[in-house]
């Protein structure tokens, strides 16, 4: 078979389905009105692809897309574009995370085309943590973009078929655009307005930071509905298991925007098996989040404990009747 015939069947070169912007399984699930699940793959400190696949396998049992994180916390690991390439070639659906911290607009636009050419369909646009938060604080930060300007740039590449310079792109990328949001950072009343700016810039799906304070998240979602944003963007609430009461206190004290209520910490403290109780709490939170109007899914994060994600989603029941198991998109 000739190369030209091969390319006709390659997602990057075929038009998306009608009413869609990409070939993403995640987009298909969300636009069909199904409750979506995404999860985060913690990148290895390794050049061995087997380490990526080992972490991805339990996530593929439940995830409509697997996030490849981009040096989160400003710590160096295998690159998000490398992980996205490996997983996409293996038939997994991925979310390619781009942090503005480390690359300028020339590098980012080139990486976007490269990722799309490899079949990546989902992109999450992030400003990124400052280098002082990581293990190499002497690194030089770039921040040529922030998340909003990055969203606008990729939307321009996709919808207008040009680079920021105005030069034409021969084949624009077909990408489903996402951004992050944190409902639990004060001033709380400003968070929905900040979300609106990302939607205006091009965000089509949102993944939030960890949600442990449900009343606070419900107030955020009420304002989101008042602004009509729930009709314009798909919101996936961030969830994850707490390992122990000590870990919960540490997160509350050291991770901006994560509020773990005293009641949850007390519950963990009294449990004979705090890890199992943290997992049980996560299942309950997912079940409650599913009932909040305007929420389209959950984004599950379990640092270095990917094996728990499949168990948590299975016990929550949110995927009853369907299987997201690995697919090329």
Q: Summarize pLDDT for 144-169 with one digit per residue, the tens.
A: 999 999 999 999 999 999 999 999 99
Distance CA 42, CA 24 (A): 21
Q: Summarize pLDDT for 280-324 with one digit per residue, the tens.
A: 999 999 999 999 999 999 999 987 788 899 999 999 999 987 766
Within the chain, how many helices (H) and strands (E) appear?
12, 8
Sequential DSSP letters for 42-54: ---SSS-HHHHHH
Residue 7: its pLDDT value, please?
58
Cα 1 to Cα 4, 5, 15, 328: the distances in Å are 8, 7, 21, 21
Predicted TM-score (pTM) of the model is 0.92
Instruction: Write out the CATH class of domain 3-316.
Output: alpha beta
Distance CA 138, CA 2 (A): 49
Cα 192 to Cα 23, 147, 197, 200, 259: the distances in Å are 29, 16, 9, 12, 18
Cα 33 to Cα 9, 28, 29, 180, 234: the distances in Å are 27, 9, 7, 21, 10
Write a three-state SS string for 217-235: HHHHHHHHHHCCHHHCCEE
> Are residues 65 and 122 in contact, defined by beta-carbon separation less than 8 angstroms?
yes
Residue 328: its pLDDT value, please?
47
Distance CA 114, CA 158 (A): 13
* 20 secondary structure, DSSP code: -
Domain extents in the chain? 3-316
SS3 320: coil
Q: Summarize pLDDT for 11-20 with one digit per residue, the tens.
A: 667 889 999 9
> Are residues 36 and 26 in contact, defined by beta-carbon separation less than 8 angstroms?
yes
Confidence of residue 256 (pLDDT cuts 50, 70, 90): confident
Confidence of residue 261 (pLDDT cuts 50, 70, 90): very high
Residues β-bridged to residue 125: 98, 179
Residue 11: its pLDDT value, please?
64
Q: Which residues contact residue 81 at a Cβ distance below 8 angstroms, ignoring those fewer than 6 apart?
A: 68, 96, 111, 114, 115
> Are residues 26 and 95 in contact, defined by beta-carbon separation less than 8 angstroms?
yes
């Amino acid at each position: 078979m000739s190369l030209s015939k091969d390319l006709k069947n390659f997602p990057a070169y075929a038009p998306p389905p009608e009413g869609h912007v990409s070939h993403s399984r995640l987009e298909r699930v969300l636009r069909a009105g199904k409750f979506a699940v995404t999860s985060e793959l913690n990148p290895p400190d390794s050049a061995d692809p087997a380490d990526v696949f080992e972490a991805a396998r339990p996530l593929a049992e439940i995830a409509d897309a697997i996030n490849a994180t981009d040096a989160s916390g400003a710590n160096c690991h295998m690159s998000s574009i490398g992980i996205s390439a490996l997983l996409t070639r293996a038939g997994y659906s991925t979310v390619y995370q781009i942090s503005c911290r480390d690359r300028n607009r020339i590098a980012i636009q080139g990486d976007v085309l490269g990722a799309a050419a490899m079949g990546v369909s989902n992109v999450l646009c992030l400003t990124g943590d400052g280098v002082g938060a990581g293990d190499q604080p002497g690194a030089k930060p770039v921040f040529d973009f922030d998340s909003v300007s990055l969203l606008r740039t990729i939307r321009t590449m996709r919808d207008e078929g040009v680079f920021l310079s105005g030069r034409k792109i021969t084949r624009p990328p077909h990408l489903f655009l996402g951004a992050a949001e944190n409902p639990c950072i004060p001033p709380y009343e400003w968070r929905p307005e900040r979300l609106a700016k990302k939607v205006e810039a091009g965000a089509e799906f949102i993944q939030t930071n960890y949600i442990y304070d449900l009343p606070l998240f419900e107030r955020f979602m009420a304002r989101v509905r008042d602004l009509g944003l729930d009709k314009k963007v798909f919101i996936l609430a961030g969830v994850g298991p707490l390992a122990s009461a000590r870990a919960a206190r540490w997160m509350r004290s050291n991770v901006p925007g994560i509020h773990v209520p005293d009641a949850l910490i007390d519950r963990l403290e009294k449990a004979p098996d705090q890890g199992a109780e943290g997992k049980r709490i996560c299942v309950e939170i997912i079940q409650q989040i599913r009932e909040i109007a305007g929420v389209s899914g959950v984004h599950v994060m379990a640092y270095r404990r990917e094996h728990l994600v499949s168990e948590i989603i299975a016990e929550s029941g949110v995927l009853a009747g369907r299987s997201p198991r690995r697919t090329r998109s």
